[in-house]
Amino acid sequence: MKNEQYNRRAFLTKSAKLMGVAGVLLAGGSLISCEESMYKSYVVDKSKCTSCNRCNYVCRYGAVSLVQVYNTEGTEIISSSAYVDQKLCYKCGKCIDVCPEKAISFI
């Protein structure tokens, strides 16, 4: 399933290039080239992330999830932050738009 989604994204990117499409417009209004959309990824700054989970709610593809780190006994949460699964991500930019702390960036 994950490979199928990656292959679909690669197919769409290659098709866009063949059709003369110069770039991809992200939800936030940024224009990036087809190559950039294929090889760049979203990164979460854990020091800024407040675990509000808005990014998870807005992601249609299930690429964003909340990761929690527990103590050694497994009884207390030490930290938590968002995580973007690059294989599921379609790079639409909606997670960046909804993040109140600007913890997600596209690199």
Mean pLDDT in runs of 10 for the chain (107 residues)?
56 69 60 62 91 94 90 84 88 90 90
For residue 53, give Cα distances in angstroms to 37, 50, 100. 24, 8, 11
Question: What's the whole-model pTM score?
Answer: 0.65
Q: Catalogue all structural domains in the chain, each as residue range(s) with its CATH number.
A: 2-106 (3.30.70.20)
**End-to-end Cα distance, the chain:** 25
The predicted pLDDT at position 107 comes to 81
Residue range 21-39, pLDDT digits in tens: 666 665 556 566 656 666 6
What does the pLDDT read at residue 76? 86
| Neighbour count for residue 96 (Cβ, 10 Å) | 20
pLDDT at 1: 47
- C-alpha Rg value of the chain to the nearest Å: 16
The whole-number pLDDT of residue 38 equals 60
